[in-house]
Amino acid sequence: MANNIRTRSIGEAVAAAAVIALLITVVFINYRGPSQAPPVVQRAAPPQPAAPALPPTTRAALDAGNAEFRAKHYAAALGHYRLASLSSPGEAAPFYGIYMAAQALNNTPLADSAVAEIRARTSGTGPFNDTTLRALHGKH
Protein backbone atom coordinates (compact mmCIF):
# COMPACT_ATOMS: atom_id res chain seq x y z
CA MET A 1 0.00 0.00 0.00
CA ALA A 2 2.84 2.41 0.74
CA ASN A 3 4.25 1.75 -2.71
CA ASN A 4 0.87 2.58 -4.28
CA ILE A 5 0.70 5.93 -2.45
CA ARG A 6 4.21 6.86 -3.49
CA THR A 7 3.48 6.01 -7.17
CA ARG A 8 0.31 7.94 -7.07
CA SER A 9 2.01 11.04 -5.60
CA ILE A 10 4.78 10.90 -8.17
CA GLY A 11 2.23 10.56 -10.99
CA GLU A 12 0.25 13.50 -9.73
CA ALA A 13 3.40 15.58 -9.37
CA VAL A 14 4.44 14.77 -12.96
CA ALA A 15 0.98 15.71 -14.25
CA ALA A 16 1.01 18.97 -12.29
CA ALA A 17 4.47 19.81 -13.62
CA ALA A 18 3.29 19.13 -17.18
CA VAL A 19 0.30 21.47 -16.75
CA ILE A 20 2.55 24.20 -15.32
CA ALA A 21 5.02 23.80 -18.19
CA LEU A 22 2.20 24.04 -20.69
CA LEU A 23 0.87 27.23 -19.09
CA ILE A 24 4.33 28.81 -19.05
CA THR A 25 4.77 27.92 -22.74
CA VAL A 26 1.44 29.53 -23.66
CA VAL A 27 2.33 32.69 -21.75
CA PHE A 28 5.72 33.03 -23.44
CA ILE A 29 4.32 32.32 -26.90
CA ASN A 30 1.75 35.09 -26.51
CA TYR A 31 4.13 37.56 -24.86
CA ARG A 32 4.79 40.50 -27.19
CA GLY A 33 7.24 42.44 -25.07
CA PRO A 34 6.96 46.04 -23.85
CA SER A 35 7.36 47.56 -27.34
CA GLN A 36 4.68 45.51 -29.02
CA ALA A 37 1.14 46.39 -28.24
CA PRO A 38 -1.49 43.75 -28.69
CA PRO A 39 -3.26 43.93 -32.04
CA VAL A 40 -6.19 46.31 -32.09
CA VAL A 41 -9.41 44.85 -33.32
CA GLN A 42 -10.86 47.16 -35.94
CA ARG A 43 -14.59 47.22 -35.91
CA ALA A 44 -16.39 48.12 -39.06
CA ALA A 45 -18.61 51.15 -38.93
CA PRO A 46 -22.23 50.22 -38.60
CA PRO A 47 -23.89 50.10 -41.98
CA GLN A 48 -25.72 53.24 -42.93
CA PRO A 49 -29.37 52.76 -43.73
CA ALA A 50 -30.01 52.82 -47.44
CA ALA A 51 -31.80 55.83 -48.79
CA PRO A 52 -35.44 55.04 -49.23
CA ALA A 53 -36.34 54.18 -52.79
CA LEU A 54 -38.23 56.76 -54.76
CA PRO A 55 -41.92 56.06 -55.26
CA PRO A 56 -42.67 54.35 -58.59
CA THR A 57 -44.45 57.43 -59.97
CA THR A 58 -41.46 59.64 -59.20
CA ARG A 59 -39.02 57.12 -60.66
CA ALA A 60 -41.11 56.81 -63.84
CA ALA A 61 -41.32 60.60 -64.24
CA LEU A 62 -37.56 60.97 -63.75
CA ASP A 63 -36.83 58.19 -66.23
CA ALA A 64 -39.16 59.77 -68.79
CA GLY A 65 -37.57 63.17 -68.21
CA ASN A 66 -34.09 61.72 -68.63
CA ALA A 67 -35.11 60.02 -71.88
CA GLU A 68 -36.55 63.28 -73.23
CA PHE A 69 -33.44 65.18 -72.10
CA ARG A 70 -31.15 62.73 -73.92
CA ALA A 71 -33.29 63.18 -77.03
CA LYS A 72 -32.81 66.97 -76.61
CA HIS A 73 -36.54 67.51 -76.03
CA TYR A 74 -35.86 69.86 -73.14
CA ALA A 75 -39.37 71.32 -72.72
CA ALA A 76 -40.87 67.81 -72.55
CA ALA A 77 -38.13 66.77 -70.10
CA LEU A 78 -38.95 69.79 -67.94
CA GLY A 79 -42.60 68.70 -67.76
CA HIS A 80 -41.62 65.22 -66.56
CA TYR A 81 -39.22 66.63 -63.97
CA ARG A 82 -41.95 68.95 -62.68
CA LEU A 83 -44.29 65.96 -62.30
CA ALA A 84 -41.54 64.14 -60.37
CA SER A 85 -41.08 67.14 -58.09
CA LEU A 86 -44.81 67.19 -57.35
CA SER A 87 -44.95 63.46 -56.56
CA SER A 88 -41.90 63.64 -54.23
CA PRO A 89 -41.50 67.26 -53.10
CA GLY A 90 -38.82 66.41 -50.53
CA GLU A 91 -36.44 64.83 -53.06
CA ALA A 92 -33.60 66.74 -54.73
CA ALA A 93 -33.35 64.61 -57.89
CA PRO A 94 -36.40 66.08 -59.65
CA PHE A 95 -35.08 69.58 -59.05
CA TYR A 96 -31.73 68.61 -60.49
CA GLY A 97 -33.62 67.54 -63.63
CA ILE A 98 -35.48 70.86 -63.63
CA TYR A 99 -32.13 72.60 -63.29
CA MET A 100 -30.65 70.71 -66.26
CA ALA A 101 -33.67 71.36 -68.48
CA ALA A 102 -33.81 75.05 -67.48
CA GLN A 103 -30.11 75.41 -68.32
CA ALA A 104 -30.68 73.78 -71.72
CA LEU A 105 -33.63 76.13 -72.34
CA ASN A 106 -31.58 79.18 -71.23
CA ASN A 107 -34.08 79.86 -68.45
CA THR A 108 -31.69 81.25 -65.83
CA PRO A 109 -34.35 82.29 -63.26
CA LEU A 110 -35.80 78.77 -63.27
CA ALA A 111 -32.30 77.23 -63.07
CA ASP A 112 -31.45 79.50 -60.13
CA SER A 113 -34.64 78.57 -58.29
CA ALA A 114 -33.93 74.86 -58.92
CA VAL A 115 -30.46 75.31 -57.40
CA ALA A 116 -32.06 76.87 -54.32
CA GLU A 117 -34.45 73.90 -54.06
CA ILE A 118 -31.57 71.44 -54.39
CA ARG A 119 -29.60 73.21 -51.67
CA ALA A 120 -32.63 73.23 -49.38
CA ARG A 121 -33.02 69.47 -49.77
CA THR A 122 -29.35 68.45 -49.56
CA SER A 123 -27.76 71.02 -47.23
CA GLY A 124 -24.95 71.37 -49.79
CA THR A 125 -23.78 67.76 -49.34
CA GLY A 126 -23.29 64.83 -51.65
CA PRO A 127 -23.40 65.09 -55.42
CA PHE A 128 -25.48 68.29 -55.19
CA ASN A 129 -22.94 70.35 -53.26
CA ASP A 130 -22.31 74.03 -53.95
CA THR A 131 -19.07 73.48 -55.87
CA THR A 132 -20.71 71.02 -58.26
CA LEU A 133 -23.72 73.26 -58.77
CA ARG A 134 -21.57 76.34 -59.41
CA ALA A 135 -19.48 74.43 -61.94
CA LEU A 136 -22.58 73.16 -63.72
CA HIS A 137 -24.30 76.53 -63.52
CA GLY A 138 -21.28 78.41 -64.85
CA LYS A 139 -20.73 80.48 -61.68
CA HIS A 140 -17.15 79.94 -60.54
Whether the Cβ atoms of residue 95 and residue 114 lie closer than 8 Å to each other: yes
Question: Is 64 inside a domain boundary?
Answer: yes
Q: Are residues 69 and 118 in the same domain?
A: yes
My answer on whether 26 and 64 are in the same domain is: no
Task: Kindly state whether residues 63 and 20 are assigned to the same domain.
Answer: no
- 49 within 8 A of 82, measured Cβ to Cβ: no
Please give the helix or strand (H or E) that residue 61 lies within, else none. Answer: helix 56-70
Question: Is 40 among the domain residues?
Answer: no
84 neighbors 97 (Cβ within 8 angstroms):
yes
Is position 49 within any domain?
no
Residue-level pLDDT at 28: 65
Which pLDDT tens digit goes with each residue over 95-139?
Answer: 999 999 999 999 999 999 999 999 888 875 655 555 555 555 454
DSSP 31: -
Both 73 and 119 in one domain: the answer is: yes
Here the CATH number for the domain that contains residue 76 is: 1.25.40.10
Model confidence band, residue 21 (pLDDT cutoffs 50, 70, 90): confident
Number of compact structural domains in the chain: 2
Q: Is the dihedral of CA 41, 51, 104, 108 positive or negative?
A: negative
Cβ(103)–Cβ(85) below 8 Å: no
Task: Report if residue 72 sits inside a domain.
Answer: yes
Q: pTM (2 decimals)?
A: 0.56
φ, ψ at 72 (rounded to 5°): 65, 30
Domain that holds residue 109: 56-137
